[in-house]
Amino acid sequence: MMSAVDTSILDSLEFDDQNFLVNATDWTPAVGEAIAAELGIVLGERHWVVLNFCRKEWEEHGESPTIRRITKGADVGTKELYDLFPGGPGKIAAQIAGLKKPTGCV
C-alpha cells in the first residue's frame, strides 16, 4: 500500500505468517508507525493512548490485553476503540504494538 510513512524499517524484522511481530522486543514507536501505515491507519494521540497501554500490559503481564481490558484500563470507550482500529481493535492494536493476538473470550 502507498503511504507517506517510510515502512522499510519492517523489512529487517521478523514477522509471523499473519504479520505479527515475532519478537516484541524488536518493537519501537517507529515500527508501530510503520505497521499502522501498512494497515492504512494514521496514528494519532488517542491511538497512542491505546498502544502505550498495550505495551505496558505486555511488560507487566507478558500478554496482550483483550478489548475489555483496554476499555477498562486505558480510559477509551468501546465505540472509540472500534473507530480507532477498524476491522478488529484488539487484534490490530496488538499487531501495531508489536505483540501477539490477545486470547480470551471477552
Partner 1 sequence: MPGFNREKVQATGAAVADAPAKRKLCIIASKGSLDMAYPPLILGNAARAAGIEVHIFFTFWGLDIITRKKNSNLHVATVGNPNMHPWFHIPTFMGGIPGMSDMATAMMRSEIGKLDVPPVAEFLDMLHDAGAHIYACLMTVDMMKLKKEDMVDYAEILDANQFIEISEGAQIIFV
Q: Identify which of 15, 101, 16 has the alpha carbon closest to the alpha carbon of residue 58.
A: 101
Question: Is residue 38 a contact point for partner 1 (CB under 8 A)?
Answer: yes
Least distance (Å) between residue 83 CB and partner 1: 9
Q: Which residues 58-97 are close enough to bind partner 1 by CB under 8 A?
A: 67-69, 71, 77-79, 82, 85-92, 95
Question: Is residue 105 a contact point for partner 1 (CB under 8 A)?
Answer: yes
Q: Decide if 54 is catalytic.
A: no
3-state secondary structure of 89: helix
The active-site residue out of 1, 2, 105, 106 is: 105
3-state secondary structure of 46: helix
Cell of 35: 505497521
